């Protein structure tokens, strides 16, 4: 029941609100954490991946492909911003992995399934799921071994690169078919997906993106020049440039691994058994 005094509840509410504001004013203001800047680009990566899935659902495969490429651009930016602002954190690492599995695992898997493998039933579904499955294993392995220091190479093919290769093959489908003189793209897609998925969980080292500092540029000038040339090719030739850059990147990593393996076998001393 009311106590007969009009506006009493409103006055009490205003008094409590004023007391709360006084307590809040006495607390020290917290600044924006450094991890907020790279986390913003990480979330943009996730947003681009989600939009790519929507575009696949609507049948806009070209738009979906370029959105996955855009997600890769945001992924590179969040790592760069984390180093520039010294904002690397375990939260950022986990958020980055969760975003990557959507943008570079689920999105390209859904894209390749709807674009080329849907007619193969269960087989097509299983093959299309490999980028997402192997990408998840790749990211989990990276997180377990991450010690806070960025290395000059990745163990296994990075999941954004694998996604970009799938996108490049789809965007250049007619060109790839003409070069290989194939009557259908399906064999190309199936082979590409299986090989890329295997490379992600392999132990083959692949180069990381060059660091934007003078010390790294002085120590690795060829890598920096190669990265700049690749960026120019991508801007000038778009789909064809993307495919060319990625194929060269794969060839360098796999060729180096084969060379090191051959040299290790060649230099190994044969073990001989002698009778006592």
In tens, the pLDDT along 91-116 reads 888 899 999 999 999 999 999 999 98
Most confident of 34-38, 41-45, 116-120, 169-173: 41-45
pLDDT tens-place string over residues 180-193? 555 555 777 888 89
The mean predicted confidence, pLDDT, of the chain is 84
Tokens of 49: 């991946």
Cβ(19)–Cβ(73) under 8 Å? no
- CA dist list (Å): 184 to 17, 146, 176, 265: 70, 42, 10, 39
Per-residue confidence (pLDDT) for residue 68, from 0 to 100: 97
Share of the chain above pLDDT 90, in %: 47
The span from the CA of 238 to the CA of 231, in Å, is 10
pTM comes to 0.81
Span of 2-16, 30-44, 231-245 with lowest mean pLDDT: 2-16
Residue range 135-152: mean pLDDT, rounded: 84
pLDDT tens-place string over residues 19-42? 766 766 666 666 556 667 888 999
Q: Which residue is associated with the tokens 């954490």?
A: 33
Span of 129-138, 214-223, 225-234 with lowest mean pLDDT: 214-223
Per-residue confidence (pLDDT) for residue 82, from 0 to 100: 77
Per-residue confidence (pLDDT) for residue 190, from 0 to 100: 87
| Residue 243 DSSP SS3 | helix
Q: Which residue is associated with the tokens 């073990």?
A: 271
- Does the domain at 36-209 match CATH 1.20.120.1760? Answer given as yes
pLDDT exceeds 60 at position 2: no
Per-residue confidence (pLDDT) for residue 276, from 0 to 100: 43
Ranges of each domain in the chain:
36-209
pLDDT exceeds 90 at position 224: no
For the chain, state the CA radius of gyration. 26
Tokens of 124: 């097509």
Any alpha helices (H) in 60-209, and if so which ranges? 61-84, 90-100, 107-112, 121-145, 159-171, 173-180, 186-200
Cβ(140)–Cβ(209) under 8 Å? no
Exposure of 152 in the CB half-sphere (CA atoms within 13 A): 7
E strand or H helix at 207: strand 205-207
Residue range 266-274: mean pLDDT, rounded: 62
Cβ(60)–Cβ(23) under 8 Å? no
85 CB contacts (<8 Å, ≥6 apart)? Answer: 34, 37, 38
Instruction: Find residue 152's DSSP bridge partners.
Output: none
């Amino acid at each position: 029941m009311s106590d007969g005094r009009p506006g009493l509840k409103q006055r009490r509410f205003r008094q409590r609100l004023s007391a709360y504001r006084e307590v809040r004013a006495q607390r020290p203001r917290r600044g924006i954490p450094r991890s907020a800047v790279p986390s913003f680009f990480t979330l943009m990566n996730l947003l681009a991946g989600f939009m790519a899935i929507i575009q696949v659902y609507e049948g806009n495969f070209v738009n979906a492909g370029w959105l996955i490429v855009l997600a890769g651009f945001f992924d590179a930016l969040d790592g760069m911003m984390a180093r520039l602002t010294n904002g690397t954190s375990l939260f950022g690492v986990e958020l980055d992995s969760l975003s990557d599995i959507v943008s570079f695992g689920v999105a390209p898997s859904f894209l390749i399934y709807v674009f080329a493998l849907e007619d193969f039933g269960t087989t097509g579904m299983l093959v299309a799921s490999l980028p997402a499955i192997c990408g998840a294993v790749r990211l989990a392995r990276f997180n377990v071994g991450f010690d806070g220091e960025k290395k000059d190479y990745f163990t296994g093919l990075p999941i954004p690169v694998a996604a970009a290769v799938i996108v490049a093959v789809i965007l250049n489908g007619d060109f790839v078919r003409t070069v290989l003189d194939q009557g259908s793209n399906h064999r190309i897609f199936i082979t590409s997906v299986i090989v890329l998925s295997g490379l992600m969980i392999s132990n083959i080292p692949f180069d990381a993106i060059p660091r934007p500092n003078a010390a790294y540029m002085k120590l690795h000038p060829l890598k920096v020049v190669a990265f700049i040339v690749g960026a120019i090719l991508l801007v000038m030739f778009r789909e064809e440039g993307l495919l060319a850059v990625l194929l060269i990147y794969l060839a360098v990593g796999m060729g180096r691994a084969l060379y090191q393996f051959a040299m290790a076998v060649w230099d190994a001393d044969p073990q001989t058994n002698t009778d006592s």
